[in-house]
Amino acid sequence: MDLTIENILLIGSLLLLISIIAGKTSYKFGVPTLILFLIIGMLAGSEGIGKINFDDPQLAQFIGIVALNFILFSGGLDTNWSSIKPILWQGITLSTVGVLLTAVSLGTFVWLITDFTIYEGLLLGAIVSSTDAAAVFSILRAKSLGLKSNLRPTLELESGSNDPMAYVLTIAFLGLVINQDAGWTSIIPLFLQQMIVGGVIGLLLGKLSKLIINRISLDFEGLYPVLVIALMFITFSLADFLGGNGFLAIYLCAVYLGNQELIHKKTIMKMFDGLAWLMQIVLFLTLGLLVFPSEIVPVMGIGILISLFLIFIARPISVFLGLIFFRMKIRRRFYISWVGLRGAVPIVFATYPLLAGIEKANMIFNIVFFISVTSILIQGTTLSIIAKWLHVALPDKAKPKSPVDLFLSDRVKTAMAEIEIKENSYPVDKKIIDLQFPKTAIIAMINRDNNFITPNGSTEIKANDTLIVLSDSNEAMNKVYESLEMDMRI
């Protein structure tokens, strides 16, 4: 069946519906939802029962890049700075040095056991060198897996920030495959340019985005997530246009925004949480459609060898060497090495050799697809078991909520105060978003001229207003008075 304008919406919506229903029941049988999305895509493909003819790597790559924008941005919004600050350098080391070590060790192994050249082997190693944010975020959160110490923020920081390094290595080694006279030193300026420009653009656009979100006055609350989507794509595109890494830029931009006070932040985070799931489904369905199962079978033997080497040797080597200068228990290092999930990102990166038209592009793509599937099946289905076996899992009653869960939940308030705003006092004519209100308190209502209004972040406080404030505790209420620069205390 060929995709046409007339049937693409019907087919697409049916595939989405099937994926959502399948995903709802998948964990009862211990199968990660991402695998089911891939399988549904393969079944719908030209060699499956759906007979949908889809063989367009360029379109698949475009869909993949757009989807990764949403997935990384959503993951960045959900990253709590106070959680990642203690493990920041461990995460950065894993996402840079760890990725490089994985690419080199796996690439060398591929070169030794196949007829790949050293550059082709390193290209394959680079493509699968990063852990997949979509796989890690979705599996850890779907399983509600509580981990001791700072393991969870370490894993999520690594998976959210290591795609830029893998992308740089993929582009660099692809260039060496095409032009073998370029030499190794050509990688260094490319790496520095990508990381520095991407990082600077991400932070600058993060600060600018906060200013735009909080200062612009939109008539409808639903437009704020749309505004953030526009800012997200501007950040990615600008970084890419200036020669930086767009994936790094949007992740840093999202991390910054996620830890700031924003107007309608709850609406924005809810919207991106849903969009991230939608993009995961679309991404895996698209990649499933792009794969031809008959081409996977011939590479299964070599694929198993490479996949097992990656899981049991290359990944542990990169983790243990990368974290050699950090104090961490051995069993925690083992668990980090086990959560080296490969998913859609390597498959998206594998489309670059296809579009470049190198000799072994099809073989690389099929091996990468096989590695991603086996990684999710072997590692993704055993995360809880391995966590308990290594004694790094928290008891169910001790599991902490994620920042998004805490933010979106309806907190029970135990303290209430009515605060009258005097003329010429500090809060007058200031927006609520600018008051640096404690996160454990809310202004439930404002009594203005005997009329009660429900405020939001853009609401300006006026003289003689009476604020009805709810808070988790009396201590938090004291912080409310501090933010209003009032002397009264509870």
- In degrees and rounded to multiples of 5, residue 303 shows phi and psi of -65, -40
What strand order describes the sheet that includes 451-453? 415-420, 466-471, 441-448, 451-453
Task: Report the percentage of the chain scoring pLDDT > 90.
Answer: 41
Ranked by mean pLDDT, which of 14-28, 227-241, 257-271, 284-298 comes out on top?
227-241
Task: Provide the CA 438 distance to its chain's centre, in angstroms.
Answer: 27
Fold of 411-483: Alpha-Beta Plaits (3.30.70)
- In the chain, what are the domain boundaries? 5-404, 411-483
- In degrees and rounded to multiples of 5, residue 470 shows phi and psi of -115, 140
Q: Can you give the pLDDT at residue 26?
A: 55
Q: Concatenated DSSP letters for 407-460?
A: HHS-PPP-EEEEEE--TT-TTTT-BGGGG---TTEEEEEEEETTEEE---TTPB
Q: Can you give the pLDDT at residue 193?
A: 93
Q: Binning pLDDT at 50, 70 and 90, where does residue 380 land?
A: confident
Assess contact for 210 and 256: CB atoms under 8 A: yes
Q: Can you give the pLDDT at residue 450?
A: 85
Tokens representing 337?
């090495």
> SS3 for 354-378, per residue?
HHHCCCCHHHHHHHHHHHHHHHHHH
How far, in Å, CA of 86 to CA of 146, rounded? 18
How far, in Å, CA of 273 to CA of 13, rounded? 19
Helix (H) / strand (E) element for 470: namely strand 466-471
- Tens-place pLDDT, residues 89-103: 999 999 999 999 999
Does domain 5-404 fall under CATH 1.20.1530.20? My reply is: yes
Q: Can you give the pLDDT at residue 140?
A: 65
Using the predicted structure, report yes or no on whether residue 401 has a pLDDT greater than 70: no
Q: Can you give the pLDDT at residue 397?
A: 52
Assess contact for 49 and 112: CB atoms under 8 A: no
Quote the Cα angle for 286-24-254, to 5°.
Answer: 60
Assess contact for 94 and 336: CB atoms under 8 A: yes
- Tens-place pLDDT, residues 362-379: 999 999 999 988 988 888
Q: Can you give the pLDDT at residue 410?
A: 45
Q: Can you give the pLDDT at residue 30?
A: 47
How far, in Å, CA of 99 to CA of 441, rounded? 42
**Looking at per-residue confidence, does 158 or 15 come out higher?**
158
Assess contact for 14 and 8: CB atoms under 8 A: no
Q: Binning pLDDT at 50, 70 and 90, where does residue 29 land?
A: very low
Quote the Cα angle for 470-473-478, to 5°.
Answer: 85
Least-confidence region, from 144-153, 239-248, 382-391, 430-439 = 144-153
Helices (H), 97-222: 99-113, 118-127, 133-142, 151-161, 163-178, 187-215
Name the average pLDDT for the chain.
85
Helix, coil or strand: residue 45? strand
Using the predicted structure, report yes or no on whether residue 287 has a pLDDT greater than 70: yes
- Tens-place pLDDT, residues 467-490: 888 887 777 788 888 888 887 654
How far, in Å, CA of 296 to CA of 362, rounded? 10
Tokens representing 202?
């991400």
Tell me the mean pLDDT in the region 213-227.
89
